[in-house]
């Protein structure tokens, strides 16, 4: 699976590039990249390898920034709350994310870890509670839950009706945080 985190190449030394992910610097291998990168290019990184070059247009459209911008807003919220309560550091942040929220938890954790270094959340761990997709059928009026890790429902599992309301599984919220 590809983690959709854009990283900017800031230097290249043979097949190793130093990348910048929202202020955090890491070294990645360029071995798997099909095209020759240049300094300033954005690449997708997975498990220490740059795997794909990203077109600037896709970056600017916001298509790829999704989890990264969510991570940054979590950090903003946590910093503000921490300032308000006068805490020194944050140990963990509990989130509730619906499976139909369109957020990849792994990508969010990656983006969060890459963004937290210089913030009050630098030692914080994201604890993600995943909410199954659920709803109510308009035909048989029963409630249902999508099985396993499904991100969507095709029909009511009780009666097969295509008319239903999704009531759970789209949420994304910060539940609480542990501070000291
Ligand atoms: Zn039904």
Q: Domain limits at 165? A: 65-180
Over residues 42-65, mean pLDDT: 72
Please tell me the predicted confidence (pLDDT) of residue 162. Answer: 93
Domain identity same for 96 and 162: yes
156 CA → ligand 1 middle, Å: 5
Domain identity same for 55 and 134: no
146 CA → ligand 1 middle, Å: 13
134 CA → ligand 1 middle, Å: 12
Which position has the higher pLDDT, 150 or 94?
94
Given pLDDT bands bounded at 50, 70 and 90, which one contains residue 60? low
138 CA → ligand 1 middle, Å: 7
155 CA → ligand 1 middle, Å: 8
pTM, to two decimals: 0.61
Q: How far apart are CA 143 and CA 140, in angstroms?
A: 9
Name the residue with tokens 């048989």.
140
147 CA → ligand 1 middle, Å: 15
Chain CA centroid to CA 167, Å: 22
pLDDT at 3 over 50: no
Edge-to-edge strands of the sheet including 164-168? Answer: 143-145, 134-137, 164-168
pLDDT at 70 over 90: no
Domain identity same for 76 and 44: no
Domain identity same for 119 and 148: yes
Domain identity same for 16 and 105: no
Q: How far apart are CA 45 and CA 3, in angstroms?
A: 7
Per-residue pLDDT reduced to its tens digit, 98-138: 888 878 888 899 889 988 988 999 999 999 999 999 999 99
Q: How far apart are CA 41 and CA 8, in angstroms?
A: 6
Q: Which of 41-45, 92-96, 142-146 has the lowest mean pLDDT?
A: 41-45
Are 54 and 38 within 8 A, CB to CB? no
Looking at the domain assignment, is residue 1 inside a domain?
no
For the chain, the maximum distance between any two Cα atoms, rounded to a whole number of angstroms, is: 64
Question: Averaging pLDDT over each range in 4-18, 30-44, 129-143, which range is the top one?
Answer: 129-143
173 CA → ligand 1 middle, Å: 29
Please tell me the predicted confidence (pLDDT) of residue 52. Answer: 78
Please tell me the predicted confidence (pLDDT) of residue 92. Answer: 95
Structural domain ending residue among the three candidates 60, 90, 105: 60
Residue 37 to residues 25, 30, 62, 92, 106: CA-CA distances in angstroms?
A: 17, 8, 22, 37, 26
162 CA → ligand 1 middle, Å: 8
């Amino acid at each position: 699976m590809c983690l959709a985190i854009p990283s900017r190449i800031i230097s290249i030394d043979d097949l190793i590039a130093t990348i910048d992910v929202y202020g955090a610097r890491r070294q990645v291998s360029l071995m798997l990249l099909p095209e020759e990168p240049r300094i300033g290019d954005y690449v997708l990184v997975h498990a220490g390898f740059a795997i794909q070059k990203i077109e600037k247009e896709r970056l600017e459209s916001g298509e790829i920034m999704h989890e990264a911008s969510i991570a940054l807003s979590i950090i903003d919220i946590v910093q503000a709350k921490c300032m308000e309560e006068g805490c020194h550091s944050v140990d963990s942040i509990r989130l509730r994310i619906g499976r139909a929220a369109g957020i990849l938890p792994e990508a969010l954790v990656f983006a969060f870890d890459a963004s937290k270094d210089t913030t009050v959340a630098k030692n914080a761990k994201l604890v993600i509670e995943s909410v199954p997709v659920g709803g109510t059928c308009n035909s048989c009026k029963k409630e249902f839950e999508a099985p396993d890790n499904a991100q969507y429902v095709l029909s009511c599992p009780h009666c097969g009706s295509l008319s239903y309301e999704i009531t759970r599984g789209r949420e994304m919220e910060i539940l609480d945080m542990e501070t000291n």
